[in-house]
């Protein structure tokens, strides 16, 4: 029988690439997105599509019942849907902070809760897509870094708590992966960053942080191929790092004194010019 995999956030980028790669390897893919027209192409390829807004309890409940009409088991769940808002923390709108933490942290747990009954039917894998940004906070990405760090910490606890039920929890920490991430983050930043910002003199450095992950990134298809291979193994690693730069922040944060890392990052993002 084909193994079943459900992936959140399949409209673009990593989620879509993972759906295509799992499908090519013979999995029954349940591709999900908030906007169904964004995944019609995946449906045309033979994948099952389900509408999910991970920030809506009602949407998750409906998605679970939709999945029940199609299968009675789920071998892999990929928590990929996320949200990124970049910019100075002291000027970021409260709504942006709340949405980022709700989407990248709280709702990730809600997704697992929603599909837990099916995950318990067979030995299964939950893959939480975190980020290398969770290894070390950087200027103008503090909220995003914090959410990814929190997700990694939650993954550690979930790995132990769900182990008795033969559910493996994997913390995936991508580096720079080709996607629309930078463009989306930059557009959101431009929408609220005021010309009167106390950081206006280094606005270009702030925008550079928003698009940093798209400077010479790993192709999305290659990342998906590597990740699917690892998630398909009998015993996937607890932490998977893939893509260019996927270890750089970890090394910087672990082996360098904090005083030195602060100076390096302050200089990189021009905070020494204020």
pLDDT, residue 60, reads 98
Whole-angstrom Cα distance, residue 191 to residue 201? 18
Catalytic residue among 16, 148, 207, 244: 148
pLDDT, residue 100, reads 95
Query: Can 64 be counted among the known catalytic residues?
Result: no
Q: pLDDT of the chain along its 274 residues, tens only?
A: 799 999 999 999 999 999 999 999 999 999 999 999 999 999 999 999 999 999 999 999 999 999 999 999 999 999 999 998 889 999 999 999 999 999 999 999 999 999 999 999 999 999 999 999 999 999 999 999 999 999 999 999 999 999 999 999 999 999 999 887 666 766 777 777 888 899 999 988 888 887 777 778 899 999 999 999 999 998 999 999 999 888 888 888 888 999 999 999 999 999 999 9
**pTM of this structure:** 0.93
The count of domains in the chain is 1
Catalytic residue among 3, 64, 83, 144: 144
Distances (CA, A) of 119 to 3, 180, 201, 235: 12, 31, 51, 16
Secondary structure of 132-149 in HEC code, one letter for each residue: HHHCCCCCCCHHHHHHHH
Q: Which domain holds residue 27?
A: 4-273
CATH number of 77's domain: 3.40.50.720
Q: Quote the strand ranges of 122-200, DSSP E.
A: 124-129, 167-174
Of 173, 155, 163, the residue nearest 243 (C-alpha): 173
Q: How many Cα atoms sit within 13 Å of 2 on the Cβ side?
A: 15
pLDDT, residue 9, reads 97
Query: Can 144 be counted among the known catalytic residues?
Result: yes
Cα 181–chain centre separation: 10
How do residues 75-92 score in pLDDT, each as one tens digit? 999 999 999 888 999 999
């Amino acid at each position: 029988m084909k193994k079943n995999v459900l992936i959140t956030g399949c409209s673009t980028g990593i989620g879509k690439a993972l759906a295509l790669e799992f499908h090519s390897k013979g999995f029954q893919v349940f591709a999900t997105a908030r906007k169904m027209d964004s995944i019609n192409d995946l449906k045309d390829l033979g994948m099952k599509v389900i509408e999910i807004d991970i920030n809506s309890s009602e949407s998750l409940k409906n998605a679970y019942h939709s999945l029940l009409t199609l299968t009675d088991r789920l071998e892999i769940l990929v928590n990929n849907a996320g949200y990124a808002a970049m910019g100075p923390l002291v000027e970021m709108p409260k709504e942006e902070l709340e949405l980022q933490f709700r989407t990248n942290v709280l709702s990730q747990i809600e997704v697992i809760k929603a599909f837990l009954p099916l995950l318990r039917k067979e030995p299964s894998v939950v893959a939480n897509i975190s980020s290398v940004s969770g290894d070390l906070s950087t200027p103008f990405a503090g909220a995003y870094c914090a959410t990814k760090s929190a997700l990694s910490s939650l993954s550690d606890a979930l790995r132990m708590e769900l182990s008795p039920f033969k559910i493996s929890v994997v913390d995936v920490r991508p580096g720079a992966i080709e996607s629309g991430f930078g463009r989306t983050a930059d557009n959101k930043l431009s929408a609220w960053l005021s010309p009167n910002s106390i950081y206006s003199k280094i606005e270009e450095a702030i925008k550079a942080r928003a698009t940093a992950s798209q400077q010479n990134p790993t192709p999305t298809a290659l990342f998906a191929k590597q990740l699917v291979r690892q998630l398909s193994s009998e015993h996937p690693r607890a932490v998977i790092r893939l893509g260019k730069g996927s270890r750089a922040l970890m090394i910087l944060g672990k082996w360098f004194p904090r005083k030195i890392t602060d100076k390096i990052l302050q200089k990189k993002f021009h905070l020494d010019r204020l």
